[in-house]
Amino acid sequence: MGKLFGTDGVREIANKLLTPEMAFRLGRAGASVVAPRNGRRQVIVIGGDTRRSTGMLGSALSAGINSAGVDVLDVGVIPTPAIAYLTVKLNADAGIVVSASHNSAEYNGIKFFGPDGFKIPDEMEHEIEKRVWARATGTPGSAAWSENDDLPRPSGSSVGMCEDIQDAWELYVEHAVESARHGLDGLRVVLDCANGASCLTTPAAFRELGATVVVINASPDGDNINSACGSTHPQALAAAVVEHSADMGFAHDGDADRVIAVDADGNVVDGDQIMAICAVHRHFQGGLPGRAIVATNYSNLGLAHAMESIGCSVLRADAGDRYVLQMMLEKNLVIGGEQSGHVIFLETTTTGDGLITAIEVATVVASTGKPLAELAGVMKKYPQVMVNVGVARKEDYHRSKRIASAIEAAEAELGSDGRLLVRPSGTEPVVRVMGEGKDEGEVRRVVESLAEIIESELC
């Protein structure tokens, strides 16, 4: 059977592979793995974003969980990091989010959190997948599809129940507000909610902290989530910040586990710059444990140089917030994240949290009195050039001496002021070539030349 879990849970076009039948099986299998019956009543928190398919999949997921004898606390439309927080706050055995994050509306996804609020490890995902496919026949949604499995199916008073928790989002807002290191009185802020899960939570938190708030893209209709708005399309936010003469703006993705900022002039401040701003501020306040942060291999070279300039460092993890988090835990560090705006502040959250990250940035502005553009100037962004090379024989990549020699020559050309990253994709017939350096034209020439060699060798 096919692989279900990717780097961030299950994610597919809703009602295709990710059918209600599949969600039901994921609920049963997931409950048996993350909340096994051990003599007491188990409970799982579930919530999701604003896609039209979220209700369909969430209902099927809850039914599967209840069928396994586990209770459900349904917290409704709510950001992904809120599920992580509420799983711990409500003393639940697990949390599950129905969301496809930054993807367009036809997609949806299911991701699991453990009782500690952290995403479940790969081993647990593999076990859920194994149980989903146990004795399965046919294709999900087809007449030949079988729901038979070897999992318990209790009856009577042992069947699970579902309870709606109407005010759970308020608990999350309270938590986010309590994380703030400074009030936001006097600041005018534009918030782009991407027509997603943050439409209530982020505006409420910023208003409670004293900011004057302008909200855009907060009218979800089931189909407009992430559509020409939010963190993947910050142009709308930039225009609104300038139009309303705001001090700054913040844009989430559909499930608000990431955020991108915009300064008063409409310039985008990405996840790398956000980490630089917050880490430098904390360092000079004496609050950056380990004098280091964690970024990914795709984070800008300018972030490393900014940290080196204050005697600190950047540790690089593989792309994906779970790998960033793993390194943060191993090294006892408190800030880590990705250029996309997934940022983790480990003292207050267990996963990427767009609201808490936005609050952190805004409080630095408020406490220093410096505009966001000046604070972002601590990091000089180096031009990055990325080429995805479609290949026919990806498996030959590591065996090609010509490619190895070309990479070595390209690295020498970029020199100490540049950086080269070449990686075969784990899921696509593609080799990714990324270069950085002071001169964009030079970087582009080196990257495209190397890409041509890779293509000629592997196609």
Q: Is 339 exposed, middle or buried (0-12, 13-18, 19+ CB in 10 A)?
A: buried
Q: Is 53 exposed, middle or buried (0-12, 13-18, 19+ CB in 10 A)?
A: buried
| Active-site residue, from 67, 101, 179, 299 | 101
In whole angstroms, what is the distance from residue 35 CA to residue 53 CA? 25
Give DSSP secondary structure letters for 157-201. Answer: GGS--EEE-TTHHHHHHHHHHHH-SS--TT-EEEEE-TTTTTTTH
AA identity, residue 139: T
Pairwise CA distance, residues 270 & 3, whole Å: 32
Contacts of 182 (CB under 8 A, 6+ apart): 363, 366, 367
Give the separation between CA 311 and CA 90, rounded to whole angstroms. 41
Q: Which helix or strand (DSSP H or E) is residue 98 part of? A: strand 94-98
Q: Compute the distance between CA of residue 441 and CA of residue 383 in angstroms, rounded to an integer.
A: 9
Q: Residues 74, 47: contact at Cβ < 8 Å?
A: yes
| Catalytic residue status for 101 | yes
Q: What is the DSSP letter of 358?
A: H
Task: With beta carbons less than 8 A apart as the criterion, state whether 300 and 436 touch.
Answer: yes
Residues in the chain: 459
Farthest CA pair distance, the chain: 71
d(CA 239, CA 245): 10
Beta bridge partners of 261: 250, 269
CA distance 148 to 341: 41
Q: In sequence order, what E strands does 241-348 have?
A: 248-252, 259-263, 268-269, 292-296, 313-317, 335-337, 343-345
Determine phi and psi for 54, rounding to 5 degrees. -65, -40
Please check whether residue 251 is in contact with residue 357, taking contact to mean a CB–CB distance below 8 angstroms.
Answer: no
CA atoms of 143 and 193, how far apart (whole Å): 40
Catalytic residues: 101
